[in-house]
Amino acid sequence: MTLAVASSGLTKRFRSGQVAVDGVDLAVPAGSVYGFLGPNGSGKTTTIRLLLGLIRPTAGSHRLLDAPMPQAARDVLPRIGALVEGPAFHPYLSGRANLRRLDAADRTVSPSTMDTRIDAALERVGLLAAAGKRYRFFSLGMRQRLAIASALLRPRDLLILDEPTNGLDPQGTREVRSLLSALAAGGATVVLSTHLLSEVEQVCTHVGVMHLGRLVAQGELAALRAGAAPRIEIRTSRPDLAREELSRLGLTDAARQGDTVTAQLGDVAPEAIAPALVHADVPIVGLRVLTADLEEMFVELTGEGFDVTG
């Protein structure tokens, strides 16, 4: 399978000694929508900066659209639209003038099509009417939309978007989501860095999870999910007894919450549980097998801690 983004051992150690990105081997299949997940400070943005050649790796290498970086940057970066660490534009220029400036920096596009391309990009993000305003008067959502528009100034083969729905209202979030789907349907590969798991569940085909600078999981979303440990949930009027019985059956991590008991299913067949519980005099009100949802998977991989890991 062709990879739109492939890195091997990508590492960035800052002068402070902090290792922000540690031996990351990204594999983003062409045509996929790749959810790049990780808690704040896990190294997602630094990885994106490395990919775009804004910072140089301490070790490792990577390829974008099958071309070696940074050697092929001049040829390959025009085919990539990027949003890195939030929008950034000149505050005293209008939205449109800011897009003109970025377009002027691109030597591979025709100036004669600039206005049509800018209009099309603004239209796609719903900013056409407000584009004449100075950027300093834009709301956060409008700024975000303008940044997305700048990534769409020309047809792209790869989009690397760092938290594109940050600051958007629910409607804007939905629009961006459908925009991403449309881009993916058009054949572009999308790398979507985010911490919104619902976003990933709705649009992504592949997922990579960063934690403490390392890529701790990567693969097809469906496969990752299937690999995650399922749990069983039992509702009963005798929860304590149920918990004991589940533990006796060999299920681990049995926990009670109100009249509900859950446990890690492990190797035990789910159909064997109900008869065993009934046999042990546990009245069953409800029984459910839970496949791991993304949030649980995420927490399992990156830890419960709320603290930002420096």
Partner 1 sequence: MSPANTPAGRRSADETRAVETSAGEARSTDHEPAGGGRRWSTRLFRSELWLIFGRRRNWVGLAVLCSLPIVINVATKVSAPTGGGPDFFVNITSNGLFAALASLVLELPLFLPVAVAAISADAIAGEANLGTLRYLLAVPAGRTRLLAVKFGAIIVFALVATLLVAVVAAVLGLILFGGGPFTTLSGTAIPFGSGALRVLLACLYVTVMLAALGAVGLFVSTLTEQPIGATIAILVLALGSEIADAIPQLHAIHPYLLTHYWLSFGDLLRDPMAFDRTVPGLLSAAAYIAIFASAAWARFTGRDVAS
Note the residues at the interface with partner 1 (CB under 8 A).
1-2, 4, 29-32, 49, 52-56, 65-67, 73-80, 82, 84-93, 100-113, 150, 155, 157, 184-189
Residue carrying the six token digits 């789910």: 270
Closer residue to partner 1, CB minimum distance, 30 or 212? 30
For residues 306 and 200, what is the distance between their CA atoms, to the nearest angstrom? 21
Least CB distance to partner 1 at residue 147 (A): 8
Least CB distance to partner 1 at residue 248 (A): 49
> For 212-216, which contacts have Cβ atoms below 8 Å and span 24 or more sequence positions?
212/22, 212/42, 212/43, 212/309, 213/19, 213/20, 213/21, 213/22, 213/24, 213/42, 213/43, 213/46, 214/22, 214/23, 214/24, 214/43, 215/24, 215/25, 215/26, 216/301, 216/302
Closer residue to partner 1, CB minimum distance, 4 or 297? 4
Give residue 123's region: left, alpha or beta (phi > 0; psi -120 to 50).
Answer: alpha
Least CB distance to partner 1 at residue 91 (A): 7
The b/e string for 29-44 (b: 16+ C-beta within 10 A; e otherwise) is bbbbbbbbbbbebbbb
Closer residue to partner 1, CB minimum distance, 91 or 283? 91
For residues 207 and 223, what is the distance between their CA atoms, to the nearest angstrom? 10
Least CB distance to partner 1 at residue 82 (A): 5
User: Hey, which residues does 37 pair with through a beta bridge?
Assistant: 194, 209
Closer residue to partner 1, CB minimum distance, 189 or 218? 189
Least CB distance to partner 1 at residue 170 (A): 26
Least CB distance to partner 1 at residue 216 (A): 24
Closer residue to partner 1, CB minimum distance, 37 or 76? 76
Sheet arrangement for strand 260-264: 252-257, 260-264, 231-236, 284-290
For residues 70 and 76, what is the distance between their CA atoms, to the nearest angstrom? 9
Closer residue to partner 1, CB minimum distance, 4 or 209? 4
Closer residue to partner 1, CB minimum distance, 104 or 289? 104
Closer residue to partner 1, CB minimum distance, 32 or 218? 32
Least CB distance to partner 1 at residue 178 (A): 16
Question: Is-contact 115 87, C-beta < 8 A?
Answer: no
Least CB distance to partner 1 at residue 227 (A): 23
